[in-house]
Amino acid sequence: MSNVHAVGSTSEDTATTEDTATTEDTATTEDTTEPIVSVENLRVSLGGTDVLHDVSIDVPEGRLVGLIGPNGAGKTTLLRAINGTVSIDSGRVTVAGVDAATCSSRRLARLVATVPQTTTLSFGFSVRETIEMGRHPHISRFGAMDDTDVAAVESAMAATAVEALADRSITDVSGGERQRVLLARAVAQETPVLVLDEPTANLDINHAARTLELVRDAVTSEALSGRAAIAAIHDLDLAARYCDELVLLADGEIKAYGSPEAVLSAESIGSAFATEVAIGTDPVTATERVVPRATVPAGAADTDCYVHVLGSGMLARETIARLAETGCSGSVGPIPTGDIAAETARLNGFSIVDAPAFRSLSMTVKDRVRARCQESDAVVVTEAIDSWQRRLLAGLDCETIAVSGGPTQSTEGSPAGNADSVDHRCSVEELVGELFDRDET
């Protein structure tokens, strides 16, 4: 990507109108205070239905902006308004100071490159020929590809790792490979603005991440200022990880706009996607992670059930996740705030009785745990218990169950010392059945 130039520097068109256009473009892109893409009060209707109403966003240069939102939210339409392929009803879209709706296709194609969701190529062009089509707006009608064009195509192919496919027919490569070819075509177009519609939809995890890295590097590169990218991304976790800003679209309106941390809240995502979600933090990338909650099948579980989980760590985490999935509410503790089970509990709406690690429990904590247990319909023990806990369990009226690790472990496994203190023992997998079977009898 290092030899991607601002649009002004590569244009070799000699027509006077194009020359003036180029000068203007350069002037605008150098002005760093101006947003490179500006959408004002955009309204678009397709087939009589309002798809976008009153959408306004400004994309400053150097940003990768992610468009998120449910199916039919208007993401693709917004992208198409920016690349000039949909006619707008009212409002204004400017790219590098140029009105996208009224300028010539050729001029806009030197400002905005598009990676479409898919392409329909009815005849067997080779991958290289397809990528060369990205140079179309840079070559005059009677001209041919010159060294600049060839170099742009070569570096785009290298950046997107499609060199190995170069001589294969575009109709013979896989869907994911085709998507990378389309990205290469857009990169070869060498425009300040890149518009991507679901660029990772068909890609494997490696290429999905590499695609977004490539785009992010392209827009944030210090050598090339005045660039930005807007991508409709389905995968919210990828969006949170790679985008500088997110735009949440739903019902043709912008519901939230800002940093991923600000936009990805359980409320905004939940209402936009009409589902309940939990927003956690990815343990690897430390970026936001959106997890939709399982929809509880009607009658499958007693959703009033309240369960206290006595324990911490991985097994407690699995237990909580399993309980939450069936619609149970509950609590966990005593547990240190940084424990992985605490995170899972928080995301699933379980209350936490927190206690500092490596210290004996204070009276307050013990009282709080006892209170939680007494309120519960059942208490699930996930680790070896001490004498205080043993006494606590003995004094409870409710059902007590000890769980042990995954399917590979026997039910006689880890909480070995609990055998005499609890009513039942089972694995995490069996827990739900165990709980509700007892409830019914």
Partner 1 sequence: MGVRQRAATYSAALAVLLAVVMTVSAGMGPVYIEPIAVTKVILNAVAVPVGMTLSSTPISAGPLQAPAIELVWHAPFSFGTERVHEQIVLGVRLPRIILGATVGFALATAGTVMQGFFKNPMADPSIIGVSSGAAVGAVAFIVVPSAIPFGIGLRGAAFVGAVVTAFLVYLIATQSGRTPVATLLLAGIAVQAFLSAVISFLQLYSGESLRQVVHWLMGHLGNARWGDVGVTVVLVPALFVIILAYGRDLNVLLLGEADAKSLGVEVERTKKILLVLSSVITAAGVAVSGVIGFVGLIVPHMVRLIVGPDHRVLLPTAALAGASFLVLTDTIARTALGGSDIPVGVVTAALGAPFFLYLLRSREVHSL
Contact with partner 1 (CB under 8 A) among 148, 189, 331, 418: 189
**Which residue from 47, 48, 123, 297 is in contact with partner 1, where contact means CB under 8 A?**
123
Nearer to partner 1 by Cβ, of 16 and 120: the residue is 120
Task: Establish if 124 lies at the interface with partner 1 (CB under 8 A).
Answer: yes
For the bound state, the minimum distance from the C-beta of residue 46 to partner 1, rounded and expressed in Å, comes to 13
Residue length of the chain: 441
- 186 C-beta neighbours (distance < 10 Å), count: 25
Residue from 119, 265, 114 nearest 197 by CA: 114
142 touches partner 1 by CB under 8 A: yes
Instruction: Provide φ and ψ at 332, rounded to 5°.
Output: -140, 145
Only segment of 35-43, 124-132, 311-319, 374-382 that touches partner 1 (CB under 8 A): 124-132
Query: Is residue 402 a contact partner of residue 428, using CB atoms and an 8 Å limit?
Result: no
Residue among 111 and 341 whose Cβ is closer to partner 1: 111
Task: Report how many residues bind partner 1 under the rule CB under 8 A.
Answer: 37
CB 441 within 8 A of CB 435: no
The DSSP call for residue 290 is E
Beta bridge partners of 335: 354
Using CB under 8 A as the binding rule, whether residue 74 contacts partner 1 is answered as no
Determine the Cα–Cα distance for residues 131 and 160; give it in Å rounded to an integer.
11
Site for partner 1 contains 122 (CB under 8 A): yes
Within 190-249, the residues that bind partner 1 by CB under 8 A are 195
Q: In the range 157-176, which residues lie near partner 1 by CB under 8 A?
A: 169, 171
Q: Which region among 44-52, 129-137, 299-307, 310-318 touches partner 1 (by CB under 8 A)?
A: 129-137
Q: Which amino acid, one-letter code, is at 321?
A: A
**Of the candidates 46, 139, 209, 296, which one interacts with partner 1 according to CB under 8 A?**
139
Q: Are strands 329-335 and 306-310 parallel, antiparallel or unpaired?
A: parallel
Separation CA 134–CA 114 (nearest Å): 10
Determine if 121 is a binding residue for partner 1 (CB under 8 A).
yes
Q: Which of residues 83-112 bind partner 1 (CB under 8 A)?
A: 83-85, 104-110, 112
Q: How far apart are CA 361 and CA 380, in angstroms?
A: 19
Nearer to partner 1, 185 or 424 (CB): 185
Cβ within 8 Å of residue 331, ≥6 positions away: 306, 308, 309, 345, 350, 351, 352, 353, 372, 376
Residue 83 Cβ, how far from partner 1 at the closest point, in Å?
Answer: 5
Q: Side chain identity at 213, as an amino acid letter?
A: E
Is residue 306 part of the contact set for partner 1 (CB under 8 A)?
A: no
Q: Which is nearer to partner 1, 120 or 206 (CB)?
A: 120
Measured distance CA(403)–CA(425) in Å, rounded: 6
Q: Which residues of this chain interact with partner 1, rule CB under 8 A?
A: 80, 83-85, 104-110, 112-114, 116, 119-126, 129, 133-134, 136-137, 139, 141-142, 144-145, 169, 171, 189, 195
